[in-house]
Amino acid sequence: IFFRSHCDTMGSVKMDRTSICALLAIMGGSIFGYVLIGISSAALTIWRCYYGLAARNEENQWWIGALFAVINVGGLPYGLVAGNVMEAFGRKKTVTMGGAVIFVGTLLSSVAPVYTAQACARVLTGVGVGMIMSSVPVYIAEMAPANRRGTLQALFQVCVTLQILSGNVAGYYILGPHRDLLPCDYCPKHTGTDIVFKNAILLAPGMVLALCVCIVGATIMPESEAWSGYVAPEGEKEEDDVDEGSALTGNRKVDYGEMGNQPKSPADAVPEIPRSLLGLLKCPQSLMAAYMMAVAQQATGINAVMFYAPKFLALGGVQLKMLGSVAVMFWNFVTTLLAMFLVDKVGRRTLLLPSMFAMAISLLSMGPIYAGIHAGYVSSIWCFVPLFVFVTGFEVGPGTLFGVILNEVFPEQVLPFGAPIVGTSSGIFALITTVIFPPLELRLGTGVFGIFGVITTIVWVYLLICLPETRGLTRREVTQKVTGPSWVHFGDKGKE
């Protein structure tokens, strides 16, 4: 479906824009999923052994937690300047540099002999991940044809979940037969050389993925035609590339593709939007929709549910915690794959709103079901129902559609600025949720999920009324919709 290539008269291989976008989505999503999340379950044990943090005490808990959180020190601040970097260097160079930074960071991480060196390597890796996470989705939004844009953005998330699954499977085998032991019991059973080897093997796929991103970015990836500083050399354009999805803005004088010809009537007019951070002030609808999607993705409790998942699995009689985590990650992948196939067929709203409704119901029911199981009123098998309903709703809904909607809802002039900033905010929401969940859970128990259920319900109501449908719309049509006078998009259908 995605990959079609042809050879020119000189024999060199060229790929159409859909194939290029698909390739970048696969590699960008894969590197993000594996390096940032996929290695976590195994690295949690390996790094405890490597850096002498195996003992179960509060100080060690803090140090190992900081080692995982520090990757955000590099990634989140980068989001604030990502638009300026992309505008200064272009999408092609940003993707290539991001792959190179991840390669160096992961290499250093695989051989870091002390805790401080590992922390620095994680910060550097975070910067590279931030570069890939901001530039690849923006590139896809600018270059993909409108009728495949949602599928290609969802492909990115499919590959994230696939590599999270792959990382968990790799960790399952790398840790070996003692994988379910606590670190204080696991570490004495392995020599220092064993731990060093396991660490290098765990991180090796991340280096390979980063190297592939560098090669593709430096060679076959063409520059985005929407980049304001890009002017194609004479003869570089092909006739079959002059189609919808090649929207041009900024310094280009020739306008073809998605943006179409100049408007011929006031109804077709769009406001002038500065190509800078200030341009976001002209797009309050876009900003509000994007931020509500960020809340839907991170502040509705996905990290809390995943944290609590082993307890739900244990209630259902699942004693092999590592295998149970792999099963949950596999379900993540399956549901994300389902969303990818549906997003351009049924539309964003049709997929998102029922999914979020199911999330709200499952969150509001988790506390009562958990209490009922403990009291003996409810069979333990019911513990799986809210867990898998929530995971399904999240991955079919905001988990997949956050990136799709985020990179569609902004006018093209401000997309490189708005999408990374909201993406950074999403990461901050995730950190806040991660920090406040343990004390809330300690005080409220499973009642904490009721709070997330209320948040989900509020976000659902807003999106039901105000989220515009962007399926099949050109960039100009999206701009007209989000800069228009009406904020009410209830029943919006988009374009077939």
The SS3 assignment for 305 reads helix
Residues in CB range of 2: below 8 A, 6 or more apart: 18, 19, 22, 23, 152, 155
**pTM score:** 0.78
- pLDDT for the residue numbered 253: 36
- pLDDT for the residue numbered 324: 64
- pLDDT for the residue numbered 205: 94
- pLDDT for the residue numbered 422: 92
List the beta bridge partners of residue 6: 14
Residues in CB range of 296: below 8 A, 6 or more apart: 356, 397, 398, 402, 456, 459, 463
- pLDDT for the residue numbered 248: 35
Rounded to whole angstroms, the Cα distance separating 230 from 247 reads 12
The SS3 assignment for 409 reads coil
- pLDDT for the residue numbered 319: 56
According to DSSP, residue 470 is labeled -
User: How many CB atoms lie under 10 A from the CB of residue 177?
Assistant: 7
The SS3 assignment for 6 reads strand
Containing 7, the helix (H) or strand (E) segment is strand 5-7
SS (H, E, C) 132-190: HHHHHHHHHHHHCCCCCHHHHHHHHHHHHHHHHHHHHHHHHHHHHHHCCCCHHHHHHHC
- pLDDT for the residue numbered 102: 95
- pLDDT for the residue numbered 73: 81
Q: Is 25 exposed, middle or buried (0-12, 13-18, 19+ CB in 10 A)?
A: buried
The SS3 assignment for 14 reads strand
- pLDDT for the residue numbered 429: 83
Residue in the structure block whose two tokens are 């901050």: 428
User: How many CB atoms lie under 10 A from the CB of residue 392?
Assistant: 21
Q: Which domains, and CATH codes, for the chain?
A: 16-225 (1.20.1250.20), 277-496 (1.20.1250.20)
- pLDDT for the residue numbered 432: 79
Rounded to whole angstroms, the Cα distance separating 19 from 27 reads 12
- pLDDT for the residue numbered 384: 75
- pLDDT for the residue numbered 136: 92
Residues of the chain with pLDDT under 70: 1-14, 228-269, 306-325, 380, 434, 438, 494-496
